[in-house]
Amino acid sequence: MSKNSKSKDNSAARMKRKDYEEELEKLQVKLCHLQQWIKQKGLRVIIAFEGRDTAGKGGTIRAITERVSPRVFRIAALPAPTERQKTQMFLQRYIEHFPAAGEVVIFDRSWYNRAGVEHVMGFVSDEGYQRFLKLAPVVEKYIVNAGIILIKLWLEVGKEEQERRFQARINDPMRQWKLSPMDIESYTHWDDYTKARDKMFDVTDSKEAPWYIIRSDDKRRARLNCISHLLSTIPHKKIKNDKVKLPKRPKKSKYDEQRGLKGRNFVEERF
């Protein structure tokens, strides 16, 4: 992935839906090939998604997972920690969701909550925050050395685009569920989140577990770029499968398949 940090011209035309869907289908086919490779080789993969509010993490994760098996690609979107979990080691409740052989676990926000929202909003002490920054690279080195493929992704959305997306959520009843009191309060802390992001990158962007940044002002391009990056990050080959042939059914069935349905409650056909 290019390390060029220059932002694309915000005035550039957003990707058309037709072009996006055509490219997405191609990449999703390749994801299915990757899935077979991961299962056959018993790979263990963690994909940690982080980024600013409204950056498009949920939509990107859906684009990755909508055509693959949920038994292979598992999503871990952990709720706020319980009182008991607040007393645990910062990584403890996430380790429970780590992959076994042949699995990919996608964290929709991860242990980096401690370096982001918990730090900015004052949910962790400065001592706890500094301890996290010190230990996270060490723990991640052990994770990688244990044979787990760890991919850390940061979705970056611009200030104006974030405001536009917040307004869209406020005005759309089908998106209002995405707004939480924490989102509204966090909105005024743009600079604080920027400083926290930069500090996090400085300390945890390691050789063993580097960060990869995806610009997401154009959600469609971001999703495609993300999937393309994942496919290039995990070396794999297309596995050739034997062609499946359906066996023949008996020509004459002795059982009336409609008999057991007579007199049952059917859903009204309104469409």
CA dihedral 230, 234, 240, 241 (to 10 degrees): -70
Q: Which domains does the chain have, with CATH numbers?
A: 17-261 (3.40.50.300)
The Cα 19–Cα 46 span in angstroms is 29
Instruction: Identify the CA nearest to 63 among candidates 217, 219, 174.
Output: 219
Low-confidence ranges of the chain (pLDDT < 70): 1-12
| Cα distance from N-terminal residue to C-terminal residue, the chain | 47
Alpha-carbon distances of 135 from 107, 121, 161, 239, rounded to whole Å: 19, 21, 34, 39
Cβ(90)–Cβ(118) below 8 Å: no
State the residue for tokens 């607040």.
86
Q: Given this model, what pLDDT does residue 12 score? A: 61
Q: Given this model, what pLDDT does residue 8 score? A: 47
Residues contacting 126, CB < 8 A, separation 6+: none
Instruction: Identify the CA nearest to 124 among candidates 139, 111, 137, 138.
Output: 111
* pLDDT tens-digit map of 111-140: 999 999 999 999 999 999 999 999 999 999
State the residue for tokens 């850390």.
152
List helix spans (H) across 66-180. Answer: 92-95, 117-120, 126-145, 159-171
Residues shown for the chain: 271
Q: Given this model, what pLDDT does residue 5 score? A: 47
Percentage of residues of the chain with pLDDT beyond 70: 96
Q: Given this model, what pLDDT does residue 186 score? A: 85
Bridge pairing between strands 44-51 and 73-76: unpaired
Instruction: Please report which helix (H) or strand (E) contains residue 23, including its range.
Output: helix 17-41
**What helix, strand, coil percent values describe the chain, rounded to 5?**
45, 10, 40
The Cα 132–Cα 127 span in angstroms is 9
